[in-house]
Structure 1
Amino acid sequence: MESGPAIFAGTAFTLFGAGLLVWTAARVRHRAPVAHGVDPTAAAVFATAFGAVLLALGVWCFGRV
């Protein structure tokens, strides 16, 4: 019964992390701002780092199942 929450959390983290990475890559590729009012390089690095952390956290949750 404890695998249900781990599957839900893993799915949520993985989808959000992957979506953030894809969105950031699309914004950078089109040379559009990732975040308004922030240095473009810092915003891209920050968003990419958080996307990778969330993706890794989702994979870790799936590993706990």
Structure 2
Amino acid sequence: MESGPAIFAGAAFALFGAALLLWTGVRLRQGEPVALGVAPRTAAVVTTLSGAASLLLGIWCFGRL
């Protein structure tokens, strides 16, 4: 009964984290700003940490099954 929400949450966090890391990497490789109005290094660090945290949270949710 509890595995359904854990699977959904794990998938949502893992997909969001992976997509955020991929998007950040593409933007940095192209030399485009990651976030408008923010220092480039600050935006890159914050989005990378957020993406990694979401991906790890998704993996943790899958590990709880």
Give the alignment's TM-score, normalised by structure 2: 0.99
Percent identity between matched residues is 65
RMSD: 0.2
Q: Per-residue deviation at 1:14?
A: 0.1
- Structure 1 unaligned segments of length 5 or more: list them: none
- The one-letter code matched in structure 1 to 2:44 is A
Give the deviation of 1:27 after TM superposition: 0.2
The equivalent residue for 1:48 is 48
Gaps of 5+ in 2: none
Distance (Å, rounded) in 1 between the aligned partners of 2:57 and 2:23: 19
- Displacement, 1:24? 0.1
Q: How many residues align?
A: 65
Q: In structure 2, what is the equivalent of residue 32 of structure 1? A: 32
Q: Normalized against structure 1, the TM-score is what? A: 0.99
CA distance in 1 between partners of 2:53 and 2:2 (Å)? 23
